[in-house]
Structure 1
Amino acid sequence: MERHKASWLNREKAFAAFAHGPLLDFWHSREEREFVGVENVTLRYVRFTAPQHKRVILVVPGRIESYVKYPELAYDLFHCGFDVVILDHRGQGRSDRLLQDSHRGHVVEFTHYVDDLETLYLKEIVSGHYQQRYALAHSMGGAILTLFLARQPQAFHAVTLVAPMFGIALPMPGFLANRILDWAEKRPAMREGYALGTGRWRANPFGINRLTHSTERYRRSLRFYADDPAIRVGGPTYHWVREGIHAGRNILSLASTITTPILLLQAGDDRVVDNRSQDLFCTMMTEAGHPCEAQVIQGARHEILFEKDAMRAQALNALITFFEAHP
């Protein structure tokens, strides 16, 4: 495993060879599965397993993401001795969409995401008879997983939250955003329309992206969506933004009740979520006597696990060390 970890620091230098060689071979070993979630929505997920593995990591992606984007992370976790399960949330990836315009990021109730995760947990994680159960969540996935932990405090031995969405970085003052969202909520045509300043998916050039400093990883992620129109998701609906904000408030109200050991990895240069909400969450957990270990990845943008080698390796080493400290 140490030899594998060493490769994290210089992978970008020959990224194409890695992606079209070892990583592609690994991707071909996947098992793609599905289950039915709330309101008969079909959810799809992927898993990588080995008979000798006694540990599992459930990966919970962020908004608009698909497991199609996550082969490299799965490869690294698998080669550190973990089975890996990755979910496509309702309304995105290969899972069923909720609106006729499949590009609109939408959910009827944020708790539906949590219900889906609970169903997958019971189906794949509990039934797998693993000795150690862990979870890793990014952005919106962090909010979903945290709400799940409030329901199921004994579900995982430890959890890592990567740039979790406990508060959204809004382009206007919060009071004004809330007025607009409440106004749109009462008007069905607006409620399910694209939120202000957003629209259908488009391939933004690397130079204006706010997600990563890694040219190689950004362009690879972009190709997944460019090559497969079915997994594209654009901006959120007004209702999704409203649900997301309420979810963040709910999480902070529950922070003191969450007892699962948590490592929170914060992106130092995050312009997508509000880092102050993450700080408050960890403070509230700690004051309640529950473990919340926070680590800032200095200079990293929102997608820490898709960052340049040095920052990504720092995050991966931190989460592997954290999981191994909670057997």
Structure 2
Amino acid sequence: MTEAPLFAEVADGPEGGRAAWLATSDGVRIRVGWWPLAEAKGTVILLPGRTEYIEKYGHAATDLAARGYATLTIDWRGQGLADRALPDRLMGHVGDFDEYQRDLDAALAHARAVGLPQPFYMIAHSMGGCIGLRALMRGLPFKAAAFSAPMWGILMAAWMRPVALTISTLSRFVGAGGRYTPGTGEASYVLSAPFAGNTLTTEPAMWDYMVRQGRAHPDLTLAGPSLGWLRAALVECLSLGRKAAPAVPALCALGMLEKIVDAAPIHARMATWPQGRLDLYPACEHEVMMETPAIRARFFDAACALFDANR
């Protein structure tokens, strides 16, 4: 194991956090971070969303430790301190969402290698929810899963969806897959947008937490996605939508002010998930885990109650 930096001063996680570099099966260097806990009831594998990084979930690790769980999270390829595929490191890019499964496989192998206690549970946010649903369908060993605004569809006008898929697919054949998706650009959302009117959180303290991290360590940040990423995401969401829900107990939190992912596939998926429950959060934006203390407590209480019931 090769130690990697963990910026504990901005993560504000539990004592004893560590990070390591891992090599995936296709030779990409990623970073994992974990917060062990003595006599933990199990380990939560926390799957971040697009643009995110390990340190952003230091507070979540503290919340989980208070409820008896260790935490491991990950810098997906193309973000955080993991290898980035394009010369423009601010552009989020991946060729196919199967690549993220290789990252997750490496992270799970590492969790076992360092002795993090089982059972393993999943918390998956936004793009991590897309990756996490595929992982459950693959049969990876999670006893239960909690989703936060999972990206099971990208929010756009219905007429735009086939257009976006066509344009992003064509970009592969004309060498434009490494260009920014129209309407996005080279700036980190958190570092360029004001708090007022933002689409992530209604909680000023958590917004400031993310801003402080980005300013202190700009190499962690990410800007808009590439056309290649957009195509891969649209294809994966379509593929997942054709498959039945996995036989894994699950809950899904969705803010009723959601403006980033498409809520319709979430409602449809959870309505047909035999062991699933959808929790709606009024006056909540995209990031339930970055919301007010009461909203965060509600989410972590519900998630850990589910985990406690499936040991």
TM-score by length of 2: 0.90
Measured against aligned partners, the alpha-carbon deviations of 1:63-91 in whole angstroms (never above 9, x if no partner) come to: 01001111111111012111110111000
Pairing 1:159-170 to 2, within 5 Å after superposition: 159-170=145-156
* Counterpart position of 1:15: none
C-alpha distance after superposition, 1:20-53 (max 9, x if no partner): 89x84x4552111121014311110111113322
2:267 counterpart residue number? 279
Whether the 8 Å CA contact 1:60–1:145 is kept in 2: the answer is yes
Change (3 A) 1:205 1:38: farther
| Structure 1 Cα separation of the partners of residues 97 and 118 of structure 2 | 31
Give, in angstroms, the shift of residue 273 of structure 1: 0.2
Q: Are 2:215 and 1:226 equivalent residues in the alignment?
A: yes
1:100-139 deviations in Å (ceiling 9; x for gaps): 1000000121101012102211231487373422111100
Cα distance in 1 between the residues matched to 2:149 and 2:94: 21
Give a deviation string over 1:258-289, Cα, whole Å, max 9, x none.
Answer: 11111111121110001111111123333xxx
Q: 1:139 aligned to 2:126?
A: yes
Assess if the C-alpha contact under 8 Å between 1:118 and 1:148 holds in 2. Answer: no
What residue number does 1:192 align with?
A: 178
From 298, 306, 310, the equivalent of 1:322 is 306
Residue 253 of structure 1 aligns to which amino acid in structure 2?
R
Q: 1:217 aligns with which of 188, 200, 206?
A: 206
SS in 1 for 2:74: strand
Distance 2:220 2:164 in 1: 29
Taking the aligned partners of 1:125 and 1:246, their CA distance within structure 2 comes to 31
CA contact (8 A) 1:62 1:138 kept: yes
Does residue 1:71 correspond to 2:58, yes or no? yes
- Inter-partner Cα distance in structure 2 for 1:180 and 1:210: 26
Matches of 1:212 and 1:34, distance apart in 2 = 31
Partner of 2:71: 84
CA distance in 2, matches of 1:278, 1:65: 21
Residue-pair matches, total: 300
1:156 paired residue number: 142
Q: What secondary structure does 1:322 align onto?
A: helix
State the match for 2:35 in structure 1. Answer: 48
Comparing 276-285 and 94-103, the one that deviates more? 276-285
Aligned-pair Cα RMSD in Å: 2.0
Match of 1:205 in 2: 194
Other-structure match for 1:268? 256
Cα deviations by residue, 1:141-190 (Å, 9 ceiling, x for unpaired): 0110110111125x0111101110000012662222223223323221x2
CA contact (8 A) 1:297 1:314 kept: no
Distance in structure 2 (CA, Å) of the matches to 1:91 and 1:304: 24
- 1:285 counterpart SS class: coil
Q: Is the 8 A contact 2:78 2:84 kept in 1?
A: yes
Q: Is the 8 A contact 2:165 2:234 kept in 1?
A: no
> Are the counterparts in 1 of residues 43 and 116 from structure 2 also a CA contact under 8 Å?
no
- Tell me, in whole angstroms, the C-alpha distance in 1 between the residues paired with 2:298 and 2:15: 28
1:275 corresponds to which letter in structure 2?
A
Letter in 1 for 2:240: I
Q: Which has the higher helix share?
A: 1
Describe the shift of the 1:20–1:47 C-alpha distance in structure 2 as closer, same or farther (beyond 3 A): closer
Q: Give TM-score scaled by structure 1 length.
A: 0.86
| Shift in Å, 1:254 | 2.1
Partner of 1:245: 234
Which ranges in structure 1 are unaligned for 5 or more consecutive residues? 1-18
CA contact (8 A) 2:124 2:132 kept: yes
User: Does 2:17 correspond to 1:30?
Assistant: yes
User: Secondary structure at the residue paired with 1:305?
Assistant: helix
Tell me if structure 2 keeps the 8 A contact 1:37–1:119.
yes
2:142 match: secondary structure: coil
- Secondary structure of residue in 1 paired with 2:278: strand
Q: Any conservation in 2 of the 1:56–1:125 contact (CA below 8 Å)?
A: no
Residue 304 (structure 1) aligns with: 288
1:171-190 matched pairs, under 5 angstroms: 173-188=160-175, 190=176
User: What's the % identity of the aligned pairs?
Assistant: 27
SS of 2:26's equivalent in the other structure is: helix
Structure 2: runs of 5 or more not aligned: 1-7
Deviation per residue, 1:203-250 (Å, 9 max, x gap): 211113111001110121012112212112100001101111111111
